[in-house]
Each structure stands twice: as C-alpha cells, then as structure tokens.
C-alpha cells in the first residue's frame, strides 16, 4: 500500500490527504465492540442546548482510552503503517491517541468553526512534538455530521510566516496580525468520510472540531505519531518544509 504521486502532491499542497478504505471491516467491528463494552449503548446520547449534556464528562473526550491489544490500534493497521513509513521513512513512531466522540446537536444550525488550532510543535505551549497526524472515523460521517475541519495549505502559511519572523516561534505568531491576515482568506473545509477511511495530516495544519448537526454520535479516532528525533530540531524552521520527511 502506498500513496500515489497525486496523493503525495495533495498532501504537500493541502496539508492533509484522505485515503479510502484502509481499515479492515473486522477491525472496525472490533473497535465498535470495544467501545460498546467500555461505554455501553450511547445511541441515545445527545448534546442538550442550555443544560448539561448527557454523559458529557465520559464521552466528549476519552483521554487515556486505547484499543487493545496493540495490534488493533489505528497506527498498527498494515495499510496505515505502510503509508506512515512511506511519508517518514520509519521515523514517525508511537501509538494511538484519543478517541473523541462528538455528540449530535441537530437542534442548532450547522456552522463552521471560526478559528483552528495547531497540534504540532508550533502549537499550544510547544509541548507537542513534530508529528504525523492520523484521523479515522469508526462509523461513517456524513456532511455536517462532525467531520474534522481543516484549513487547507495553512501548514505552509505558518511555515512561511515563521521563515520571515523566526522570533515568533514561541507561539506568539498565532496572534500576530500579519499571520491572522495570511490565514484569513483560507476557506476551511469539513472532511466527512466513511468508516475506515484515514486522514493523514501535517502537524502544523490549522484544524478544528466541527459541529455535529446529524442525529448520530461522531466517533473520531486521532493518533499523533512523533518524529523519533524531534527534540533535536525543535527550533528549526527549515528552508525546505519537507526536510524531515521522505516525500
């Protein structure tokens, strides 16, 4: 399994690429069964307007929950692993991140988020490493059903800004008027997908949780795979954005 040159070009230009059908049906079934075993039947859960949402503390973000055994985790799936290794030459390592469920809010009018955030080492407090992001949905996500929103090309914008103003690598760039003006014109894109499709994303892309206006919970699984040497180039703003990659 490998990305085509067109998919690599899309990943480089947009900062993310959706690759269809990378997870076997048996693995999806296994994940669904593990979620049911852990959390019971959540099908009735809905985010209430103006009152405390049902189960919210339990299911909005399930820090620490991992599928087990390890072979069932997203980053271990053979087709996913093959693409991860193609992108990074085996340098992106690690295990799955969080399962994030978005409760349905069909009663509110659907809207795109106003602003995005960055997970990677340009992000909040710079504690997150240089990483490759993976996202998948455990059940199909329809349009306006809570697909993650990405700002296409914003990984390049952030890098261009920091090449010009390296002093802002301390994260202050995110409030800089020039940076805000540079990202203002980017139209964010919601990315719905089928269960088992995988989104590969660059760690410095702006993205955000969206509004789930469907009638079903959005089951998202997000893995962040750090580059094994990231501490050695934490302050690097390379002349070639793809210096640490193998594409």
Nearest residue (beta carbon) to Fe ion: 119
Q: Alpha carbon 77 to chain centroid distance? A: 17
Nearest one of 197, 224, 219, 213 to 33, comparing CA atoms: 219
154 forms part of the interface with ligand AKG (CB under 6 A): no
Query: Residue 181: exposed, middle, or buried by beta-carbon count in 10 A (0-12, 13-18, 19+)?
Result: exposed
Residues numbered 81-140 forming contacts with ligand AKG, rule: CB under 6 A:
98, 100, 119
Nearest one of 83, 109, 81 to 4, comparing CA atoms: 83
Of 22 and 102, nearer to ligand AKG (C-beta) is 102
- Token pair for 110: 């659907």
220 forms part of the interface with ligand AKG (CB under 6 A): yes
- Secondary structure (DSSP) of 99-114: EEEE---TTSPP---S
In the complex, what is the shortest distance from the CB of residue 113 to Fe ion, in angstroms, rounded to a whole number?
A: 11
96 forms part of the interface with Fe ion (CB under 5 A): no
In the complex, what is the shortest distance from the CB of residue 151 to Fe ion, in angstroms, rounded to a whole number?
A: 12
Of 82 and 189, nearer to ligand AKG (C-beta) is 189
Look at residue 130 and give the partner it binds from Fe ion, ligand AKG, none, a contact being a CB closer than 5 to 8 Å depending on partner kind: none
Distance (Å, whole) CA 126 – CA 130:
10
Look at residue 222 and give the partner it binds from ligand AKG, Fe ion, none, a contact being a CB closer than 5 to 8 Å depending on partner kind: ligand AKG
Look at residue 100 and give the partner it binds from Fe ion, ligand AKG, none, a contact being a CB closer than 5 to 8 Å depending on partner kind: ligand AKG
In the complex, what is the shortest distance from the CB of residue 101 to ligand AKG, in angstroms, rounded to a whole number?
A: 9
Query: Scanning the structure block, which residue is given the tokens 């390379």?
Result: 238
Eight-state DSSP code of residue 92:
B
**Contact flags string 101-140 toward Fe ion, x per CB under 5 A:** ------------------x---------------------
What is the total count of residues that contact Fe ion (CB under 5 A)?
Answer: 1
SS3 state at 97? strand
Distance (Å, whole) CA 210 – CA 18:
17
Of 164 and 204, nearer to ligand AKG (C-beta) is 204
Distance (Å, whole) CA 69 – CA 96:
12
The backbone torsions φ and ψ at residue 99, rounded to the nearest 5 degrees and listed phi first, read -85, 130
Look at residue 148 and give the partner it binds from ligand AKG, Fe ion, none, a contact being a CB closer than 5 to 8 Å depending on partner kind: ligand AKG
List residues near ligand AKG by CB under 6 A: 98, 100, 119, 148, 207, 209, 220, 222
């Amino acid at each position: 399994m490998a990305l085509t040159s067109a998919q690599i070009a899309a990943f480089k230009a947009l900062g993310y690429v959706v690759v269809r059908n990378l997870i076997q049906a048996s693995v999806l079934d296994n994940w669904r069964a593990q979620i049911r075993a852990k959390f019971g039947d959540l099908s009735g859960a809905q985010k209430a307007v103006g009152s405390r949402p049902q189960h919210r503390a339990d299911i909005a973000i399930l820090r620490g929950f991992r599928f087990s055994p390890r072979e069932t985790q997203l980053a271990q799936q053979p087709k996913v692993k093959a693409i991860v290794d193609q992108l990074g030459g085996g340098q992106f390592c690690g295990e799955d991140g969080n399962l994030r469920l978005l409760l349905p809010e069909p009663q509110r009018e659907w809207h795109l988020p106003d602003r995005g955030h960055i997970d990677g080492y340009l992000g909040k407090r710079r504690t997150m490493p240089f990483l490759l992001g993976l996202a998948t949905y455990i059940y199909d996500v329809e349009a306006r059903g809570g697909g993650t929103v990405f700002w296409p090309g914003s990984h390049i914008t952030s890098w261009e800004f920091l090449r010009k103003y390296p002093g802002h690598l301390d994260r202050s760039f995110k409030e800089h008027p020039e940076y805000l003006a540079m990202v203002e014109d980017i139209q964010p894109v919601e990315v719905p997908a089928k269960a088992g499709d995988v989104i590969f994303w660059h760690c410095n892309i702006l993205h955000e949780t969206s509004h789930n206006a469907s009638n079903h919970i959005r089951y998202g699984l997000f893995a962040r795979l750090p580059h094994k040497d990231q501490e050695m180039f934490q302050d690097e703003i390379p002349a070639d954005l793809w210096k640490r990659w193998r594409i």
